[in-house]
Amino acid sequence: MYLLTGLLEQLETYLDKSQLALVEEAYIFARDAHEGQKRSSGDPYITHPVAVARILSEIHLDHQTIMAALMHDVIEDTEVSQEELAEKFGTSVAELVEGVSKLTKIKFSTRAEAQAENFRKMMMAMVRDIRVIMIKLADRLHNMRTLGSLNNEKRRRIANETLEIYSPIANRLGIYSIREEMQVLGFAALYPMRHRILQASVKKARGNRKEIITTIQDAIEQKLKKSKLGSEVIGREKNLFSIYRKMRDKQMTFFEVMDVYAFRIVTDKIDTCYRILGQMHMLYKPVHGRFKDYIAIPKANGYQSLHTTLKGPHGLHVEVQIRTEDMQRMAEIGVAAHWLYKSSGESNPAELKAREWMRSLIEFQENAADSIDFVENVKIDLFPDEVYVFSPDGEIISLPTGATAVDFAYFIHTDVGNACIATKIDRQLSPLSTPLVNGQTVEIITAPGARPNPAWLSFVITGKARANIRHYLKNLRIDEAIKLGRRLLDKALRGHELEAFSEEDIQRVIKITRHKTLDDLLVAIGLGSVAAMIVAHHLNPDISDYNEGDDSKPLAIKGTEGMLVTFAKCCRPIPGDPIAGFVSAGRGIVVHRDSCNNIAEYRDQEDKMIPMQWADDVLGDYPVNLRVDAKNERGVLAKITSTFANADANIINMQIEDHDGIHYRIHFLVSVHDRVHLARIIKKLRATPSVIKPTRVSD
């Protein structure tokens, strides 16, 4: 019972006797359930849940969380069920335990998939009750403290997962005490040699720094004493992982990192924080651009403080953080302060920010294709650095560093992001891909009927934007696949329409092809996974392969079919060219010129090739490759580009090669309307002085 005694001593400081009795009951239940089980270190298993409960008691979590922490492994590792826990300890405790438990009963194809699904389940349980993640963080922290008994591979995997996922989550929830210990332990396990060398270097440097730290601290204290600003000054050291990351990411030497001296000033009121800031700027000159006001604009995790960097004695940089006692407590335990101060009835900033983040997690879950996609979106959203911009109404919006106007649009609302067509940054029209900078005012211009562009995925930063764009495009792709699949099937049915067949026939074919619905079958046809002719043959066995004299019309395309009809880059077909369609599994139809060598070997394969023609009302501009041989004379390039402009052709790309010193060979990628337009352009090029020969070429 010595384990329980130590825990109860900690809990007595803030729980009442009835709650302590329930905790003791949960301890006895967990101890008996884990009877005979050992940890990797050889210790009785119950030592682990007790250690987890003690970590949570240090940040004053409520008695239900402590009970769930004591029993967090009983569902996974013993015969105890969630129903049994609910009956004995109540639904809340049982749901907390179930939320923390891992998915051990489900089989997955890969380890990555299993880990992703476990993580997804944990995050969704957290959305229901944030205490789930608090228990999971404490569980992971104790596992990190006891990594020594594991083999190297397992130790490195757990450490990497902690640094990649759990430490950023602790940071997102504002629990810096847990985050920092996780970082140091993870660094030691992942890079033991680097950790040892850095630790020895810090220890050596610490001795040389004592005198300077004392001098600076005395100067700060004297200044505050004269100004009668009651406060506590604390010397602050960066943890080893923070030093290592700064050296790695900013390409700084150890001595450059250690040349920064950090202090924290804790006072009573917000007003005093700003007065102290003024005194610090009078004591030492502030470094330009290194002041941040996180009191007026809290971080995404609710963290508040004033940050400034000063030029101290001998030109050394002195970093100062100024905050109130409440902000100091918030910085240490973040969202956990909700339980410590819930009697006041007010929500703390960390809790409000956490709930805002959890709402975005629900959106990720709804829009994610699978668990791995969900984890990727959450990882993206765990950025530690932020940029602060203003909406046109003056509202402050916090986004990850590097976020763009599209990220901003999706932050405002999903519908705003989907309908976004342009942006004004500080009243100036700017590209949607422009990274936002602190203090800018961002206005989003929308249009009815606008839709997300797949190219946005190459520059958006936030998980919310990425998840919504992917979700929209996935649904759009499915809609287009259904339409294309129906057209291909109708064509394969030789004049018959799908509606002419009975529901029994259609259901029979759906079953034969192993699909759930007609839409699923049409999607598979549209994506090229199932041949339309095979499905047509199942519906009507009289339909045979195409014959030479077959008078069925080729499939007509307008150029506006969407993502599932693409144009081959090898031959770049344009309206007026004889064309053929190649069915590519997963991509839909790729349109080639009929003479293209790349489809020659597939011409006799009916499941791969589709006769096609351009529709009469074909629309749009199409890229085509032109090679222009010209004399090496002054102004020739200007003449050629002017010819393109006068012929209403847009140059997409251009490459120049010196052919033989006397002649240029210039490769153009230009957009044209059709073959007639191209012929007109070539005719004008031939008439251009210095041009020897313009030729249409394939890639």
Residues noted as catalytic: 76-77
Torsion-angle region of 315 (φ positive above 0: left; ψ -120 to 50: alpha; else: beta): left
* Main-chain phi, psi angles of 394, to 5 degrees: 95, 5
β-sheet bridge partners, residue 442: 425
Collapsing DSSP states into helix, strand and coil, what is residue 60? Answer: coil
Helix axes 176-190, 325-333, angle to 10 degrees: 40
CA distances from 181 to 100, 164, 184, 334, 592 (A): 21, 14, 5, 15, 59
CA distances from 99 to 136, 173, 350, 378, 407 (A): 9, 18, 22, 18, 31
Assigned token pair, 33: 């359930």
Would you list the DSSP string of 493-542? TTT--GGGS-HHHHHHHHHHTT-SSHHHHHHHHHTTSS-HHHHHHHH-TT
β-bridge pairing 565-567 and 588-593: parallel
- Spatial CB neighbours of 458, under 8 Å, sequence gap ≥ 6: none
- Spatial CB neighbours of 316, under 8 Å, sequence gap ≥ 6: 212, 259, 260, 261
| Distance, CA of 432 to CA of 24 (rounded, Å) | 58
Assigned token pair, 481: 């696949």
Collapsing DSSP states into helix, strand and coil, what is residue 246? Answer: helix
| Distance, CA of 134 to CA of 138 (rounded, Å) | 6
β-bridge pairing 420-425 and 386-390: unpaired
Torsion-angle region of 151 (φ positive above 0: left; ψ -120 to 50: alpha; else: beta): beta
β-bridge pairing 555-557 and 579-584: unpaired
Contact of 376 with 382, CB cutoff 8 Å: no
The residue among 406, 430, 429, 433 whose CA lies nearest residue 418 is 406
Would you list the DSSP string of 258-321? HTEEEEEEEES-HHHHHHHHHHHHHHSEEPTT--EETTTS--TT----EEEEEE-GGG-EEEEE
Burial pattern 50-82, b for ≥16 Cβ within 10 A else e, equals bbbbbbbbebbbbbbbbbbbbbbbbbeebebee
| Distance, CA of 442 to CA of 397 (rounded, Å) | 10
Assigned token pair, 693: 């020969």
| Distance, CA of 179 to CA of 293 (rounded, Å) | 22
